[in-house]
Amino acid sequence: MRTTRKTKRLAPITDEEFELVNENNKDLIDDFLIYCESIDRSPKTIEQYRSDLRIWMVWIKDNLRNKDFIDIQKRDVVKFQNWCIKEEMSPARIRGLRSAASSLSNYIENMMDDIAPDFRNIINKIPAPTLTPVREKTVLTDEQVEKLLDDLVKMGKIQQACFVAVLAASGMRKSEIIQCDVDWFVGDDVVIYEGMYVSPEIRTKGSGKLGKPLKKFVIQGIVDEYLELWIKEREKLGITNEALFVIKRKGKWGRIKDSTVDSWMDLFSKLTGEICYAHAFRHYSASFLRRNSVSVDVIRDFFGHNDSATTEIYIDIEASENLKGMLDFLDEDE
């Protein structure tokens, strides 16, 4: 039974560690983050840059005599990457750290040419580690999802059952499902198209503070049974908050947060015996649709992807399933 996804994570840099960093490098990070704000990078991206660059600067302090970032050489990048590998960071994590340093280098090259006219971005001159999966992907079956829904209802966890149903019926990301409001599904302003609830445009993954605005689709046939149960339960509990999924804090109902979703996923993992996380249901939704003969291009539009190649990442079905019914047209011609 697998109930946790294990990836070794480096402990965050403490303020005490960062305090000893070269002042020029501290100022460089501050200036770069201000620049990121000015070109409308999302708050989450800026915070990730801050975290990753603090790791770089503390490493430079500890291993390169605290020299200026502007003075790093290719061999320094190699040493940093080798240190990351010894710290058992995943290839994806190392690439993330490289990306932060590369973005900072681009800033120096393009915006600080008066101070460092000879500076060039050398990060990408060093080959990155090959991407390999370090965590086993969870592929939920129809039977597992149905049993999870039944178990949650039997336990009286109606809200969580509705949450699973919406995830399965939409493939929303964690940050998207948190934004669900009751009036997407109930009331005079509900929009339904081709058997799907249609949300107003919401903030999704993408560049800028507002991300990529998209409408989300939720399949009625999957969600209605559990939505009806949850709406009735909300009425019993006297919940009037506009958010569909809520948690009580200091006596008041408010919209759930990431931590709420993580807690619920722990429960789902225990009930299914599988490692559950929001993206596992995104994979389930894409695979469910493809298994039921929905084309990849249509699933792409359902998810709001820019290209079908991204969509295909989420489809986890055997080749034999994909080929099922391929030649049905021959029977129709007889």
Is 147 in the same domain as 120? no
Residue 270 lies in a domain: yes
Residue 75: which CATH number? 1.10.150
**Helix axes of 142-154 and 258-272: crossing angle, nearest 10 degrees:** 110
Closest CA to 207 of 46, 30, 58, 76: 46
Residues 6+ apart with CB under 8 A from 200: 184, 215
The pLDDT score that the predictor gives to residue 43 is 87
Closest CA to 282 of 267, 265, 270, 266: 265
Give me the number of domains the chain comprises. Answer: 2
Residues 6+ apart with CB under 8 A from 295: none
Is 100 in the same domain as 184? no
Residue 276 has pLDDT above 90, yes or no: yes
Closest CA to 72 of 36, 30, 31, 108: 108
Query: For the segment 205-225, what is each residue's pLDDT rounded down to a tens digit?
Result: 755 555 678 999 999 999 999
Residue 193 lies in a domain: yes
Is 46 in the same domain as 87? yes
Residue 331 lies in a domain: no
Q: How many C-beta neighbours within 10 Å does residue 130 have? A: 6
SS3 of 323, please?
helix
Is 61 in the same domain as 89? yes
Residue 219 lies in a domain: yes
The pLDDT score that the predictor gives to residue 332 is 58
Is 101 in the same domain as 164? no
- Whether residue 163 contacts residue 223, with contact meaning beta carbons closer than 8 Å, is answered with no
Residue 134 lies in a domain: no
The single residue listed with the structure tokens 């989300």 is: 216
Residue 187 lies in a domain: yes
| Domain edge (last residue) among 125, 158, 181 | 125
Token couple for 214: 């998209």
Residue 8 lies in a domain: no
Q: What is the mean pLDDT of the chain?
A: 90
Is 277 in the same domain as 152? yes
Residue 132 lies in a domain: no
Alpha helices in the chain (DSSP H): 15-19, 23-38, 43-63, 74-86, 91-111, 142-154, 158-170, 174-177, 220-237, 258-272, 278-291, 296-303, 308-313, 319-323, 328-333
Query: For the segment 35-72, what is each residue's pLDDT rounded down to a tens digit?
Result: 999 998 888 899 999 999 999 999 999 999 999 999 99
Residue 30's domain spans which residues? 15-125
| Domain edge (last residue) among 125, 159, 182 | 125
